């Protein structure tokens, strides 16, 4: 009985010593950590989103159709990132829309007033835009900034399609590309 | 009368609120999907001769998988005579000796990010031999598209339907650094002109180091006694030569003429770039007196 208790006591002692050996460097390391300085840089990711596609819907042969930049059907891109930071924005616009086979084309045009940019968080094309209204989409301003407080900067786009009188019926498509880059880094 | 705390909501009201929140969440779900783009971080990727690999985190906050393409271009901030800054992306025929285009690779280049998921894209630099000391640049272009790419079907045989694919590209700077790095900036000229109730400041800068000068341009408008009328600051990235403009509002008040504009340029204090990724250089201070 006594021997058994002694063995148990020895085991406990050895275990305690082993734990103590592990804890000593751990305590030293803890001290190091406590003395160190933790620093972190919060980086805001840049996000570009197509909130709404420029939508002409169904069009008819020989009848031009336009969507104004302040129309609900206007295309909308939104940009979020580090508030107040300067960005360069560039639109690549198509000259025509084509069918899936590429056999038929339809002219699409953008006038020098078909774009607006808001830098205050307005993302509705029918809303009150604060920034640039009715500007040239082929030459966007160089002083666009990301809205502050987590709000989005928005780019609105109108345009027009001109189907010919003998335009072939079918589904026409084209790409509108917006490129965004921080210009201060 | 019973007072309710946030932890003590009666069962009937609890059910009402639960129902309200479920409806709210269900209503918000399609909204999240429509509004979501691809998040790209960090804003600059740094590689070096000591660590030739880097990474970019892409996040898809939407409820649908997103197809993303990665490519490279060359584009640094350039300015016109008025100090307006633009970045022109070039995919080929780049003549800038500091271009890293062609020897930085991305893995993977095409990827599908699952709904509400994220993906790491890795970059590896294989620079040419005998590269002179300094920094070399390219842009990572992250391309994503909202919605399906399918072409709409005409509802009737004689109708014309249209669909415009809205494609988004985010161009993130990637820099490769080798050897001894020097950040040095020279102020060639500074002008301040009054126009209505604004002071337009224009600074003309030249990079005299072998890395991009990343910093802040700060301007203060003060009166003859040094009392501050207004101030402004912008982020600055000078790769070769750059003109930058800034406006300072001329506020009404009891200010003594002549006014002065204090210009300070420093590459300390950028909070968007980790300190260990900065190459620190000289600061510039310059004061101009307004004539009128």
Q: A25: which residues sit within 8 A by CB, 6+ positions away?
A: none
Q: Which CATH architecture has domain B185-289?
A: Sandwich (2.60)
Is residue B18 helix, strand or coil? helix
Residue A29 lies inside a defined structural domain of this protein: no
Of A15-19, B30-34, B239-243, minimum mean pLDDT range: B30-34
Q: Look at residue A56 and tell me if it is in a domain.
A: yes
CATH number of the domain enclosing A90:
2.60.40
Q: What whole-number percentage of chain A has pLDDT above 90?
A: 54
In degrees, rounded to 5, the angle at the alpha carbon of residue A156 between the alpha carbons of residues A155 and A160 is 140
**ipTM rounded to 2 decimals:** 0.79
A25 three-class SS? helix
pLDDT at B171 over 90: yes
**Domain spans of chain B, in order of start:** 3-178, 185-289
- Other residues' Cβ atoms within 10 Å of the Cβ of residue B170: 28
Q: Is B132 a residue whose pLDDT tops 50?
A: yes
Domain B185-289 in the same topology as domain B3-178: yes
Q: Is residue A14 part of a domain?
A: no
Instruction: Determine, for residues B38 and A43 on separate chains, whether the beta-carbon distance falls below 8 Å.
Output: no
Q: Do B164 and A57 touch (CB under 8 A)?
A: no
Question: Is there a domain that residue A12 lies in?
Answer: no
Lowest mean pLDDT among A42-46, A85-89, A120-124, B205-209: A42-46
Smallest Cβ–Cβ distance between A48 and the set B41, B43, B170 belongs to B170
Q: List the 125-164 stretch of A: residues with Cβ below 8 A of B.
A: 141-143, 161, 163
Of 1.25.10.10, 2.40.30.110, 1.20.1290.10, 2.60.40.10, the CATH number of B3-178 is: 2.60.40.10
In chain A, DSSP finds a helix count (H) and a strand count (E) of 1, 12
Is residue A135 domain-resident? yes
CB burial of B32-41 (b: ≥16 within 10 Å; e: otherwise) equals eeebbbbbbb
Residue B126, pLDDT > 70, answer yes
In a domain, A87, yes or no: yes
pLDDT tens digits, residue range B65-98?
A: 889 999 999 999 999 999 999 999 999 899 999 9
- Tell me the chain B residues in contact with residue A121 when contact means C-beta distances shorter than 8 Å: none
Check if A172 contacts B (Cβ < 8 Å).
yes
Pairing of the two strands B44-48 and B160-178:
parallel
Its domain, for residue A90, covers 47-182
- Nearest-Cα distance to chain B for A27, in Å, is 29
- Give per-residue pLDDT as tens, B215-257: 999 999 999 999 999 999 999 999 999 999 999 999 888 899 9
Residue A81 lies in a domain: yes
With contacts defined as CB-CB under 8 Å, which chain B residues touch A62?
Answer: none
Q: Which 3 state secondary structure label does DSSP give A102?
A: coil
pLDDT computed for residue A37 by the predictor? 52
Q: What is the CA radius of gyration of chain B?
A: 26
Provide the domain count of chain A.
1
pTM of the predicted protein model: 0.79
Mark which residues 88-127 of A lie under 8 Å from B by CB: 88, 90, 94, 97, 99-100, 106
Residue A28 lies in a domain: no
- Minimal CA separation from A133 to chain B, in Å: 19
Contact: B161, A172; criterion CB under 8 Å = yes
């Amino acid at each position: 009985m006594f021997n058994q208790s002694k063995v148990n006591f020895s085991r406990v002692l050895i275990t305690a010593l082993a734990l103590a050996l592990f804890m000593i460097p751990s305590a030293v390391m803890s001290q190091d950590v406590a003395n160190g300085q933790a620093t972190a840089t919060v980086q805001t990711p840049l996000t570009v989103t197509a909130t709404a596609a420029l939508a002409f819907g169904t069009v008819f042969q020989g009848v031009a159709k336009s969507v104004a930049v302040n129309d609900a059907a206007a295309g909308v891109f939104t940009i979020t990132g580090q508030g107040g930071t300067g960005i360069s924005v560039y639109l690549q616009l198509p000259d025509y829309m084509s069918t899936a086979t590429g056999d038929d084309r339809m002219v699409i045009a953008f006038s020098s007033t078909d774009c607006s940019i808001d830098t205050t968080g307005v993302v509705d094309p029918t809303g009150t835009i604060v920034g640039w209204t009715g500007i040239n989409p082929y030459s966007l301003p160089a002083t666009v900034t990301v809205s502050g407080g987590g709000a989005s900067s928005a780019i609105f786009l109108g345009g027009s399609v001109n189907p010919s009188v003998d335009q072939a019926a079918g589904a026409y498509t084209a790409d509108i590309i917006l490129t965004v880059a921080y210009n201060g880094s | 009368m019973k007072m309710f705390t946030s932890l003590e909501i009666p069962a009937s009201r609890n059910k009402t609120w639960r129902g309200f929140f479920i409806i709210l969440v269900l209503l918000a779900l399609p909204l999240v999907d429509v509004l979501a783009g691809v998040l790209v971080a960090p804003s600059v990727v740094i590689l070096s001769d000591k660590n030739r690999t880097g990474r970019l985190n892409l996040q898809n906050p939407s409820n649908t998988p997103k197809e993303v393409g990665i490519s490279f271009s060359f584009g640094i901030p350039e300015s016109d005579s008025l100090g307006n800054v633009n970045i022109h992306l070039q995919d080929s025929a780049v003549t800038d000796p500091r271009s890293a285009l062609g020897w930085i690779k991305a893995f993977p280049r095409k990827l599908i990010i699952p709904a509400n998921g994220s993906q790491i894209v890795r970059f590896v630099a294989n620079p040419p031999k005998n590269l002179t000391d300094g920094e070399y640049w390219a842009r990572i272009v992250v391309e994503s598209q909202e919605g399906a790419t399918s072409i709409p079907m005409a509802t009737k045989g004689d109708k014309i339907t249209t669909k415009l694919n809205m494609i988004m590209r985010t161009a993130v700077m990637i820099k490769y650094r080798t050897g001894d790095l020097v950040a040095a900036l020279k102020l060639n000229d500074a002008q301040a002109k009054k126009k209505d109730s604004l002071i337009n400041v224009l600074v003309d800068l030249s990079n005299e180091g072998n890395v991009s000068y990343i910093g802040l341009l700060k301007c203060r408008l003060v009166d003859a006694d040094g009392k501050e009328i207004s101030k402004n600051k912008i982020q600055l990235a000078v790769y070769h030569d750059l003109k930058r403009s800034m406006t300072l509002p001329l506020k009404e008040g009891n200010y003594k003429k002549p006014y002065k504009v204090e210009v300070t340029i420093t590459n300390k204090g950028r909070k968007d770039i980790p300190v260990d990724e900065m190459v620190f250089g000289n600061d510039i201070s310059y004061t101009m007196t307004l004539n009128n």
